[in-house]
Amino acid sequence: MKVFLSTDMEGTAGVVAWEQCVGDGPQAEAGRRLLLAEVNAAIEGAVAGGATDVVVNDSHSTMRNLPADRLAGGASYVSGAHKPLYMMQGLDDSFGACLFVSYHGSVGAAAGLSHTYNPNAVIEARLDGRVTGEAGINALVAAHYGVPVVLVTGDRCACDETAALIPGVHSAVVKEHVSRVAAHSLHPELACELIKLQARAAVQTAADAPPPRFDPGVLELSVRTTDIAEAASWVRGVDRTGPRELRIHGDTHLGTYRSFCAAILLTRTVAEIR
Ligand SMILES: [Zn+2]
């Protein structure tokens, strides 16, 4: 079975501050080591559960946070910027399971380093009326290709938010929220053990897991400024429904996700203006 693994970074045990997950400083280097161990734990669990082929899509910041030669299980690696399907690049209908590793809580949630894609732009995202984070938005792509999302790892909030949208998803909670920049993390070795166990169970039962279902799969965004909303509305499939409100509903779930990614990319410069 082919397994797709999308990895973020803010949900890693021991990572609580931006310095640990952005840039090239010594703290970021240490953060990337912790992330690599968690990604490898998920790969090893997936392989133990029956994965024959693992594709890792690096979805965080520069999207090249991992040393390709140190990925476990002979996993292939999708890395680098300007990927059309962003956090879901590489997924298609040939996969049997999708894993989300080191995910974090949505913007507005009581969760460490909480945000939803761009913290300067998005102040809330809702999928069919329910507040969602990145896992829910990314699950649109899994739904399109009919691939079950079977595992989420990260902080408690990321796991709870994902389970609310995808009942039955396996989860590995590796840290508890204290504040947006503080957490109580499991020891990294124990976090990795938990991730490995859950990944194994998740992949073992993936054949019986349904893909995510969204009906109708409308994505609504509240954004920080009217300028962001204006620029986002230039994207096909994005309707402006209020001064700072957007509604995205493509012909397919994939179309919705593509319009969302285009809006995020297009509004980056505008969103930086304070
Ligand atoms: Zn993220």
Per residue in 165-181, pLDDT (tens digit) is: 999 999 999 999 999 99
How many angstroms does the Cα of residue 52 sit away from the middle of ligand 1? 27
Whether 187 maps to a domain, the answer reads yes
Whether 271 maps to a domain, the answer reads no
**Residues with Cβ within 5 Å of ion ligand 1?**
8, 134
Distances (CA, A) of 77 to 64, 235, 243: 9, 30, 40
> Looking at the predicted structure, is the pLDDT value of residue 159 above 90?
yes
- Over residues 84-102, the mean pLDDT reads 98
What's the pLDDT at 274? 87
- Over residues 122-138, the mean pLDDT reads 96
Q: What is the CA radius of gyration of the chain?
A: 17
- Over residues 114-138, the mean pLDDT reads 96
Per-chain mean pLDDT for the chain: 97
> Looking at the predicted structure, is the pLDDT value of residue 124 above 90?
yes
249 in catalytic set: no
How many angstroms does the Cα of residue 114 sit away from the middle of ligand 1? 8
Whether 255 maps to a domain, the answer reads no
- Over residues 3-29, the mean pLDDT reads 97
Which residues does residue 175 pair with via DSSP β-bridges, in sequence order? 155, 185
- Over residues 66-91, the mean pLDDT reads 97
Whether 230 maps to a domain, the answer reads no
Q: Which residue has the tokens 């703290």?
A: 27
Q: Of the residues 60, 82, 104, 115, which is catalytic?
A: 115
Q: Left, alpha or beta for 182 (phi > 0: left; psi -120 to 50: alpha)? A: beta
Whether 253 maps to a domain, the answer reads no
Dump pLDDT digits (tens) for 220-241: 999 999 999 999 999 999 999 9
Q: Which residue has the tokens 């993936």?
A: 206
> Looking at the predicted structure, is the pLDDT value of residue 36 above 90?
yes
Whether 238 maps to a domain, the answer reads no
CATH number at residue 187: 3.40.50.10780
How many angstroms does the Cα of residue 105 sit away from the middle of ligand 1? 8
- Over residues 37-66, the mean pLDDT reads 98
What's the pLDDT at 53? 98
The 3-state secondary structure of the chain reads: CEEEEEECCCCCCCCCCHHHCCCCCHHHHHHHHHHHHHHHHHHHHHHHCCCCEEEEEECCCCCCCCCHHHCHHHCEEECCCCCCCHHHCCCCCCCCEEEEEEECCCCCCCCCCCCCCCCCCEEEEEECCEECCHHHHHHHHHHHHCCCEEEEEEEHHHHHHHHHHCCCCEEEEEEEEEECCEEEECCHHHHHHHHHHHHHHHHHCHHHCCCCCCCCCCEEEEECCHHHHHHHCCCCCEEEEECCEEEECCCCHHHHHHHHHHHHHHCHHHHCCC
How many angstroms does the Cα of residue 262 sit away from the middle of ligand 1? 17
Give the range of the structural domain holding residue 79, as residue numbers without chain letter. 2-105+134-208
What's the pLDDT at 73? 98
Whether 234 maps to a domain, the answer reads no
Whether 169 maps to a domain, the answer reads yes
What's the pLDDT at 226? 98
Domains identified in the chain, total number: 1
What's the pLDDT at 206? 98
Q: What percent of the chain has pLDDT above 70? A: 100
- Over residues 65-83, the mean pLDDT reads 97
